Amino acid sequence: MTVDKVIEIPVSLEVPIGPQHPALHEPVMLKVYAEGEEVVKVEVNTGYNHRGIERLTEKNSFYRNIFIVSRVCGICNIVHSDVYVRAVEQVMDIEPSRRAKYLRVLAMELERIHSHMIINAIMAEILGYDTLFMYIMRDREKVMKAKEILTGNRVLGDYLMVGGVRRDLNEVDRERLKNILVKLEPEVWKYIKVFEEDETLWKRLRGVGVIKPRDVTLHGLVGPTARGSGVNIDARREGYDAYGEVPFNIIVRSDMDSWGRMMVRWHETIESISMCKYILENLPSNGPAVPDETRLPRKFPVGEAFARVEAPRGELTYYVMSDGRQNPYRVKIRTPSFNNIINSGFSYIGHTIADVPVILTSYDPCISCMERAIITDLRRGERMYLRFKDLSTRLK
Amino acid sequence: MEALSELLKEYALTTYSVKPNRLVIEIPKERVKNALKVIKEKHGDTGIYVSTIVGTDFPDKKQVRLDYYLVTHPDDKVYVLRTWLSREDPRVDSILDLFPGALSGECETHDLLGVVFEGNPFIKREFFAPTDVASKGVFPLRKDSGV
Amino acid sequence: MSRAKVISYSPWVAHFNTGACNGCDIEVLATLTPLYDPERFGVKLSPSIRHADILIVTGAVTKKAAERLKRLYEQMPRPKYVIAVGACAIDGGVFSKSYSVVAGADRVVPVDVYVPGCPPRPEAILDGILQLVQKLRSGGVSGGSK
């Protein structure tokens, strides 16, 4: 077997950044070795995004860390602050009110909707379907408006605090949110229909990047990547916050390929819309949603806690250890893309070069920072620079 | 399915829990790989996965603590396998052949704390840490690293 | 007509993430969608760095990404301009005290416009691009010719 092409794809992906910095995205270099057009080996090199967040959290107090930890990932910042705040609440033995729990779930589900829509839009763009990308992004703006009504900001909510949330929801805004969701749902069903019936999407996604259930657990893949292969892993089953009371279905498909993973995300979007509607109908009124900030404890007990949350990309875990001081002793963040991207090098082998961006996008890395790929043709000794998107639309 | 604590009774030095209700089983470092082999045989290939590997530096105890967080499927129980390594020369057997998914956690723990996973050919410096920190031989997560 | 004024009629934009949380990146991506319609000003995403007029930098510049940022800036043909979007690109943001971050894009490349926010709204980013275009039309920037 002779390797005649080496392709280096610098890609930005969500990797938990080491100790201090919450760097959400770690640019990663995927080094793809190809013979002709077939991929024979893939190496994943990291390091561009490391911001040293874990070390930074050891230098700041527990309360300030809520803001640092949100900025690990902009796309799923509310789930990051939720799991950190829950771990801290477990160490301090504080329980938030029921209304605050429901509002937290509402914010997290809105985030799931916008994250799934953007990755599907990007998948359409990678396949060359620019019009679909623009349509999905236009409808996604409705969700951003909803997030702004609830949390005060489009992307970085900064919505959580120890003991509850920072803003309450009044009746007028509740009606506005309900109207937005009612208008959004039929549009999502239209996109599901496009993904199920369009032949170009079908041909590019079916049978590409097949992962068997046994490989999913051995390699520790999580989230829609696992659920698209029939493995029913979902951290929401633990019933944290209000997930024990809000009814929902876990979407599992047995397609095992990229198309199955994208369909899991679309159906989860529908599920999230109905969960949000349920929460808005049944918002409990007991307990103030916003705790009294002056009453928050200033001394922290010794202890450790491990909390998990289902982020849009998969299972996100935080380990928080306190030794009695104002700052935590250790905070360990393991984001879902850390497992999904670094451990999935085996799934590219045997596919063509044009399939590599499609498979990578189906694992949902944070794509906005996709740069150019460098193709070195070893036979002719020449280097070419292509956009990531052009890599997937290569004809040769 | 019997609880993991019963299964590892002969290995465990002590058991307690990390909040909320994550059972911790402390075992000596030489028996980590065998314990994981027993666990994998009991639960099968699709019954358990390695969620994360956490290393913590304790300079006052002169030890580095290593935790393996395991999640069973489908009952979603979280177990912690905890072991202590010496701070001067932290070495433990790599579990890459049992759980290939431990690749990311082992590489990160090596680069940021200096734990050597014997048998893992992929560990290297500068996996995450920038060049100027790695070239000085500094492990950023150690308490005396100065960064 | 000076070169700067000519390109101000349709500036092409390239985007580089130097280690960001992706919050600013999705807002930059959103700026290029029909709701904000940057194409009415002639602004569009450039297919390659060699065709770009404006480089949008997001992210707290990590040490490894700093070298790539410098190389990317050198590959752009003159006249070239840089917009730093987000609090992290301006001075490191929340990560300014970390061991792995060079705090601020202006320590690596000369920056013409700063758009503050965490993340800034798409309207603010578009406003930043247009302020640069205004300056170009009135002849106020040197365009990296030093």
Q: Smallest CA–CA separation between A175 and chain B, in Å? A: 37
Chain C nearest C-alpha distance from B147 (Å) = 6
- Domain-wise residue ranges, chain A: 81-314
All domains in chain C, ordered by first residue:
3-137 (3.40.50.12280)
Asked if C62 has any chain B CB less than 8 Å from its own CB, the reply is yes
Chain A hits for B76, Cβ within 8 Å: 235, 237-238
Residues on chain C touching B130 (C-beta within 8 angstroms): 62-64, 99-100
Under 8 Å between Cβ of A83 and A162:
no
Tens-place pLDDT, residues B63-115: 999 999 999 888 888 888 899 999 888 999 999 888 988 888 898 888 888 89
B122 CB neighbour count, 10 Å cutoff: 16
Cα dihedral A317, A321, A325, A327 in deg (nearest 10): -30
Strands B78-86 and B22-26, sheet pairing = parallel
Residue B68 touches chain A, beta carbons under 8 Å: no
Where are the alpha helices (H) located in C8-121, listed in sequence order? 23-31, 63-75, 87-91
- pTM for this model (two decimals): 0.88
Give the nearest chain C residue to A72 (CA atoms). Answer: C21
Angle between helices A171-197 and A130-151 (to 10 degrees): 160
**How high is the pLDDT of residue A269?**
95
Indicate whether C146 pLDDT > 60: no
Q: Residue ranges per domain, chain B?
A: 4-135
The fold adopted by the segment(s) A81-314 is Cytochrome-c3 Hydrogenase; chain B (1.10.645)
Phi, psi of A13 (to 5 degrees): -140, 160
Query: Among C23, C65, C99, whose Cβ lies nearest the Cβ of A156?
Result: C23
Q: Which pLDDT band holds residue B24 (cuts at 50, 70, 90)?
A: confident
Least confident window among A106-110, A185-189, B15-19, C89-93: B15-19
Q: Please check whether residue B21 is in contact with residue B29, taking contact to mean a CB–CB distance below 8 angstroms.
A: no
Architecture of domain B4-135: 2-Layer Sandwich (3.30)
CB A230 within 8 A of CB A252: yes
Q: Which residues contact B60 (CB under 8 A, 6 or more apart)?
A: none
CA C12 remoteness from chain centre: 11
Q: What is the pLDDT of residue B58?
A: 92
Mean pLDDT computed over every residue of chain B: 84
Residue A23 pLDDT:
25
Could you give the angle at which helices A130-151 and C23-31 cross, rounded to 10 degrees? 120
CA angle C91, A318, A311 (to 5 degrees): 85
The pLDDT of residue A374 = 53
Residue C125 pLDDT level (bands cut at 50, 70, 90) = very high
The answer, yes or no, to whether residue C101 has pLDDT greater than 80, is yes
pLDDT for residue B127 is more than 80? no
Cα–Cα distance measured from residue A154 to residue A146, given in angstroms and rounded to the nearest whole number: 8
pLDDT tens, residue order, chain A (396 aa):
566 666 665 543 322 222 212 222 335 567 777 777 778 777 776 666 677 788 888 899 999 999 999 888 888 899 999 999 999 999 999 999 999 999 999 999 999 999 999 999 988 988 888 899 989 999 999 999 999 999 999 999 899 999 999 999 999 999 999 999 999 999 999 999 999 999 888 888 998 989 998 889 889 899 999 999 999 989 998 888 889 899 999 999 998 899 999 999 999 999 999 999 999 999 998 888 898 888 888 889 999 999 999 999 999 999 999 998 999 999 998 888 888 888 888 888 888 888 888 888 888 875 333 344 555 566 666 666 566 666 666 654
**A363 lies within 8 A of chain B by CB:** no
C chain contacts of residue A368, beta-carbon cutoff 8 Å: 15, 17, 22, 25-26, 28-29
Nearest Cα to Cα of residue A384 among C48, C57, C72: C48
Cβ atoms of A121 and A156 closer than 8 Å: no
Does the beta-carbon distance from C63 to B129 stay under 8 Å? no
pLDDT band at C140 (very low <50, low <70, confident <90, very high): low
How far apart are alpha carbons B61 and B128 in whole angstroms? 27
Q: Which of B130, B140, B147 sits opposite C62 (nearest CB)?
A: B130
What percentage of chain B carries pLDDT values higher than 70?
90
Residue closest to A244 by CA, chosen among A233, A253, A235, A252: A235
